[in-house]
Amino acid sequence: MHVQPGSGIYFVFVAAVFFAYWASAGSRLLRLAVILLANYLFCARFGLFYVLLLPVCSSLDFLIGLGLMRAGRPPIRRVLVALSVGLNLSVLVVSRHMGVLLNRHGWDWIFPLGLSFYTFQSLTYTIDLYRRDGEGTTSLLSYLSAVTFFPTLQAGPITRVTELVKQLGARPALGRADGGRAFFLIGIGLLKKALIADYLAENLVNRVFDTPKLYSGAEVLIAVYAYSLQLYYDFSGYTDIARGSAMLLGIRLPINFDRPYASANVTEFWRRWHMSFSNWLRDYLYFSLPGVRGRIMPYVNLVITMLLGGLWHGVTWTFAIWGLLHGTALAATRGWLAWRGRPKQPASPWRHALAVGGTYHFVCLTWIFFRAGSVADAMTILGRIGSLTASFENVTALFAAVLLVGAGAMFAGKQWYALAMEWFAGRPFYVHAAALLLVAVAIQFLGGRGNAPFVYSRF
Amino acid sequence: MHEFPLQTGLTIATVGLLLAGLRLVAPAGKGPETRHFAVIVDFSDSVALSPLSPHKEPEAALVPKLPAGKLSLLDDSAGVLDHFYAALWRTEKREEGAVTRIVHYGDSPTTADLITGDVRVQLQKRFGDAGHGFLLVAKPWAWYQHTGADVSGSGWQMAPASRFVSHDGMFGLGGVSFTGSGSARSRMVFGNGGYTQFEAWYLRLPGGGEFSLWADGRALGRVDTAGDSKAPGFAAFRTESATAELEIHVERGSVRVFGITAEGPGPGVVYDSLGLNGASITVLSRMYNEQHWAEELQHRNPALVIVNYGTNEADFAEFVDRQYEKELRDALRRIHTALPEASVLVMSPMDRGRRNGGEIETMPTIPRIVEIQKRVARETGCGFFDTYAAMGGEGTMARWYAARPRMVSADLIHPYPGTGKMIAGIFTREIGAGLGRYKLRVVGR
């Protein structure tokens, strides 16, 4: 049984870690040991081999980090960072793609806990040290507890290890309001996942993407809209739970989403969608490519960066097309803004709405490739939409209501969200407890579907 | 103790206690259990020691779990399918003009020609291809499709029998009435070289207009649908060479058309796949005008009528327990009355799953429907094919949904095309076995 974030056992696990952590908070050594033990217990539930693999890889990166902290000569620093990049990319590639080779020889190769987010997080440390962008640590315990910090391990948010090391090393504190904020995030994350994302997935999206020919063009289009919301609520729900879990330990993780479908162009979309990933791509991939300050290369690099970002999700034509579409759109937006110059006045509301609508529909187009099993499936879905047939027999009133609520909540001003969080954070513990109980009951009786894996947990 | 966050700790403890208490009130509810703590540190279960393991074939989801002692998935005892077997044997012996027609009424999978399309292909491969059979003249649902034929139409007002609006109950053989005037057009393209015999099925009615048929772009003939009263009308046409593309144009006034049959000279099998989305047995027992439907069936004169409903009824437990049997008996009585000689086969629904607390389970009404069908079929002189058992019985949808690659859609109702082909294979195998038993009986007389 995996400790899947959002599941009952995950919260029992978090509660146990909470009490152990704060009981030992007076001693830095003890509380780091608690975090490290929690990290490895979390991994071990997916496979005992992680408890061997991760400490070995992490310790090697730690040693490389020590080398980077001490080495002054650029060639040595380059060799060290190349070693770290090679090590982490090897872990990433071997864990995800070795199965294809081994299956031909009668073996299965299974990594139930994807290591993508671990390797991304791990690389932030050595690359930051190489660029002298962060402070390293000489404490192996501190490094190990940060690089495999369990709330971020499965699907982020990707957090700079230097930042985690700093937070874990500091004397922890958790006021009543922060505790309330953590519960608010966990509760909202659960509701997003179970009542919106899973509902949309199970009641139309999965069916339509499985057998699009059984649905009218209008229903397929609605399913694509629903998938855009499903993905947002699934992933941002996961992030909320991860951030809330970390906050219970006094650790602050970065936000990952900021109403992304309200973006007026694709560049803005990537500043608001999976922000820790797009920041990682920008900081560690895009800026590492040659010709950043050239005239043409920045555009080419954008396409290359997004193509690689697409292929990170899986080496398939669908993800490649998804990445290429986004890369091309980012390059086109950059070119357009460079040619037109930054607007001196804000766009009129109508023009802004048009831009938001256009961007949203472009993103939906790319989601078709992201979700479809093959390019042929994606073309079938596009063909169904293009058939312009309209019937709504598979779209129930409840489904439409959930879709509208999801869309409305997505576009609601974030000040409302912040106000609600602060109001909730200021309530006494029994109000927090009652609210969490209500969330649990609502999910059991309204959701009633168990907990499906988070979409991004497979990457 | 270092500034323990008491308020937050109290919240966690209170939620834990409340959820544990809730389990006492509602035992089905989920809450923390002591075993959850144990699970975190218990690695004795399936937690892998290595990412590398010898390849194991997935659990054989396809193997039907037949009840002990059951010999066949097809119950054709007492010679209830002999009329059909006799026709099929004549076809197999390639007797001149021996065409075996099968009419298959079903719900949404049949609408998309899932299973039926493969049954048609498999039977025609063995017994010969005598034509595609009945086709609606437009798509009442986006997913109306037939293997080997492409249908498109525009300008028609469509009234399917499954919409629970009976009108006059005249829905033709296929269950959908198409009303069209000047702008109405239909086009059918046949994949395997085309056919030479076509028949237009329509309604004669006072003031009825005129429509024309076009074969590969050439005029085939015109049909005047005017009549003294509402009555089924049929207009047959032959082409000298195989026609791959057939068109219908409304030429004058308003017409009501039901469909087209496309056939060849035979010998062979013709398999009419008549699927209505969302249909239940009440389409046959109530929605159809009995006299009209009887005339349509008599004109078609099939050797076998298959009644394949039950999936949509599964949503209504009270209907299943109180009303379903009566409706099924009424439908079968109507068919027997219209076609006293023809064989009738009740084909059970497939398994249908539903999600319950994260688990996929068989809808409890499905096995009840299957049992009713089995009993009623036996008592009314019909054959019975147990699709549910053929799939593997209870829990099949869960197994097929979990299979990699998946075998059914996420709605836990519709099989993927490959799965439909597999079920079709089991069905045609049983038909073949039944034919073999029939031959042995006949030869032994």
Given A120, A147, A172, the domain boundary residue is A172
Look at residue B88 and tell me whether its pLDDT is greater than 70: yes
Domain tally for chain B?
3
Pairing relationship of beta strands B268-275 and B149-160 according to DSSP bridges: unpaired
Q: Say if the Cβ atoms of B47 and A46 lie within 8 Å.
A: yes
Confidence of residue B61 (pLDDT cuts 50, 70, 90): very low
Would you give the end-to-end CA distance of chain A in angstroms?
19
- Whether the per-residue pLDDT at B30 is higher than 70: the answer is no
DSSP letter, residue B411:
T
Three-class secondary structure of residue B79 per DSSP:
helix
Residues A96 and A185 in one domain: no
At residue B140, the pLDDT reads 87
> How much is the pTM?
0.70
Task: Say whether pLDDT at B70 is over 70.
Answer: no
Q: Which pairing describes strands B245-252 and A107-109: parallel, antiparallel, or unpaired? A: unpaired
- Sign, CA torsion B257/B258/B263/B265: negative
Whether A250 is in a domain gets the answer yes
B71 pLDDT band, cuts 50/70/90, is: low
State which of B238, B264, B290 marks the end of a domain. B264
Q: In terms of domains, do B259 and B322 share one?
A: no
Backbone angles phi, psi at A264, to 5 degrees: -95, -10
Residue A194 counted as domain residue: yes
Percent of chain B's residues with pLDDT above 90: 62
Q: Is the pLDDT of residue B60 over 50?
A: no
Q: Is residue B274 domain-shared with residue B419, that is, in the same domain?
A: yes
Does A196 lie in the same domain as A68? no
List, as one string, the DSSP characters of B315-354. Answer: G-HHHHHHTHHHHHHHHHHHHHHH-SSSEEEEEPPPP-EE
Asked whether residue B344 falls in the same domain as residue B382, the answer is yes
Which domain, by its residues, includes B352?
Answer: 52-130+266-445
What distance, in Å, lies between the first and last C-alpha atoms of chain B?
96
Structure tokens at A5: 């974030």
Question: Is B380 found in the same domain as B344?
Answer: yes
Based on the fold, state whether residues B259 and B279 are members of the same structural domain.
Answer: no
- Same domain, residue pair B340 and B390: yes
Length of chain A: 459
Residue B51 has pLDDT above 80, yes or no: no
Query: Are residues A119 and A223 both part of a single domain?
Result: no
Q: What does DSSP assign to residue B94? A: T
Tell whether B410 lies on the interface with A, counting CB pairs under 8 A.
Answer: yes
Distance of CA B296 to the CA centre of its chain: 20
Q: Is residue A236 part of a domain?
A: yes
Contact of A210 with chain B, judged by CB distance below 8 Å, is answered with yes
Asked if the C-beta of B144 comes within 8 angstroms of chain A's C-beta atoms, the answer is no
Distance CA A357, CA A265 (A): 10
For residue A115, what are the domain limits? 8-172
Query: How far is residue B233's CA from residue B252's CA, in Å, rounded to a whole number?
Result: 17
Q: Which of residues 244-303 of B touch A (CB under 8 A)?
A: 277-278
Q: pLDDT at position A329, please?
A: 95
Residues A379 and A245 in one domain: yes
Same-domain status, B166 and B28: no
- State whether A110 and A221 are in the same domain: no
What is the distance of C-alpha A276 from the center of its chain?
7
Please write the tens of the pLDDT for every residue from B224-280: 999 999 999 999 999 989 999 999 999 999 999 999 999 998 899 999 999 998 889
- Which among A1, A171, A387 has the least Cβ separation from residue B45? A1
Angle among Cα A329, A330, A334 to the nearest 5 degrees reads: 115
A354 and A255 housed in the same domain: yes
3-state secondary structure chain A: CCCCCCCHHHHHHHHHHHHHHHHCCCCHHHHHHHHHHHHHHHHHCCCCCHHHHHHHHHHHHHHHHHHHHHCCCHHHHHHHHHHHHHHHHHHHHHHHHHHHHHHCCCEEECCCCCCHHHHHHHHHHHHHHHCCCCCCCCCHHHHHHHHCCHHHHCCCCCCCHHHHHHHHHCCCCCCHHHHHHHHHHHHHHHHHHHHHHHHHHHHHHHHHHHCHHHCCHHHHHHHHHHHHHHHHHHHHHHHHHHHHHHHHCCCCCCCCCCCHHHCCCHHHHHHHCCHHHHHHHHHHHHHHCCCCCCCCHHHHHHHHHHHHHHHHHCCCHHHHHHHHHHHHHHHHHHHHHHHHCCCCCCCCHHHHHHHHHHHHHHHHHHHHHHHCCCHHHHHHHHHHHHCCCCCCCCCCHHHHHHHHHHHHHHHCCHHHHHHHHHHHHCCCHHHHHHHHHHHHHHHHHHHCCCCCCCHHHHC
| Cβ atoms of residues A40 and A46 within 8 Å | no
Same domain, B9 and B70: no
Q: Looking at B215, B238, B264, which one is the last position of a domain?
A: B264
Which positions 103-132 of B are in contact with A (Cβ < 8 Å)?
A: 108, 112
Rounded (10°) angle between helices A116-130 and A140-147? 130
Asked if residue B389 and residue B274 are part of one domain, the reply reads yes
Chain B neighbors of A5, CB-CB under 8 A: none
Euclidean distance between CA atoms A317 and A93, whole angstroms: 17
B435 with B392, same domain? Answer: yes
Rounded to whole angstroms, the Cα distance separating B153 from B134 reads: 15
Check A182 against B8: CB less than 8 A apart.
yes
How far apart CA B228 and CA B205 sit, in angstroms, is: 6
Q: Please list every residue in chain A whose beta carbon sits closer than 8 Å to the beta carbon of residue B47.
A: 44-48
DSSP 3-state percent helix, strand, coil across chain B (nearest 5)? 35, 30, 35
Q: Tell me: do A149 and A71 sit in the same domain.
A: yes
Q: For A176, name the nearest residue in chain B, comparing CA atoms only.
A: B7
Q: What is the token pair recorded at A88?
A: 């982490």
pLDDT (0 to 100) of residue B22? 76
Specify which of A311-320, B161-170, B204-213 reaches the highest per-range mean pLDDT: B204-213
Are B58 and B161 within one domain?
no
Q: Residue B374: which CATH number?
A: 3.40.50.1110
Per residue in B367-417, pLDDT (tens digit) is 999 999 999 999 999 999 999 999 889 999 988 888 877 788 877 888 888
Report the number of distinct structural domains present in chain A. 2
Q: What is the pLDDT of residue A449?
A: 46
Beta carbons within 8 Å of B107's beta carbon, 6+ residues apart: B275, B276, B277, B278, B279, B280, B308, B309, B311, B312
Length of chain B equals: 445
Nearest to B410 among A45, A47, A202 (CB): A202
Q: Is residue A311 part of a domain?
A: no
Query: A248, A14 in Cβ contact below 8 A?
Result: yes
Which amino acid is present at B169? G
Does A100 reside within a domain? yes
Question: Are B201 and B260 within 8 A, CB to CB?
Answer: yes
Q: What is the pLDDT of residue B303?
A: 96
Q: Are residues A101 and A244 in the same domain?
A: no
> Which one, of B427, B389, B423, lies nearest residue B407 by Cα?
B423
CA separation, residue B287 to residues A134, B176, B283 (Å): 76, 11, 5
C-beta atoms of B18 and A95 within 8 A: no
Evaluate if residue B317 carries a pLDDT over 80.
yes
- Dihedral angle sign, alpha carbons of residues A114, A119, A120, A122: positive
Of A252, A15, A21, nearest to A7 (Cα)?
A15
Indicate whether A46 and A127 sit together in one domain. yes
3 state SS of B214: strand
Residues A42 and A77 in one domain: yes
pLDDT computed for residue B55 by the predictor: 67
Domain assignment present for residue A269? The answer is no
Q: Is residue A66 part of a domain?
A: yes
H-only helix segments in B194-255: none
**Which residues in chain B (180-239) have CB-CB distances under 8 A to chain A?**
none
Task: Please report whether residue A225 resides in a domain.
Answer: yes
Q: Are residues A164 and A110 in the same domain?
A: yes
Residues of chain B positioned with their CB less than 8 A from the CB of A449: 355, 357-358
B142·A389 Cβ contact <8 A: yes
Q: What is the mean pLDDT of each run of 10 residues along chain A (459 residues)?
A: 68 91 91 94 86 92 94 91 92 81 74 82 92 90 94 88 92 89 93 88 84 84 96 93 94 92 93 91 86 84 91 89 95 89 78 93 96 90 87 81 91 85 92 90 64 56
Tell me: do A33 and A17 sit in the same domain. Answer: yes
Inter-chain CB proximity A207 and B53 less than 8 Å: no
Cβ–Cβ < 8 Å for A326, A333: no
Listed residues B244, B264, B284: the one ending a domain = B264
What is the number of H-type helices and E-type strands within chain B? 13, 18
- Please state, rounded to an integer, the average pLDDT across all residues of chain B: 87
Report which DSSP code applies to B161. Answer: G
User: Smallest Cβ distance to B142: which of A1, A179, A391?
Assistant: A391
Distance CA A160, CA A174 (A): 22
Which amino acid, B30? K
The C-alpha R_g of chain B, in whole angstroms, comes to 27
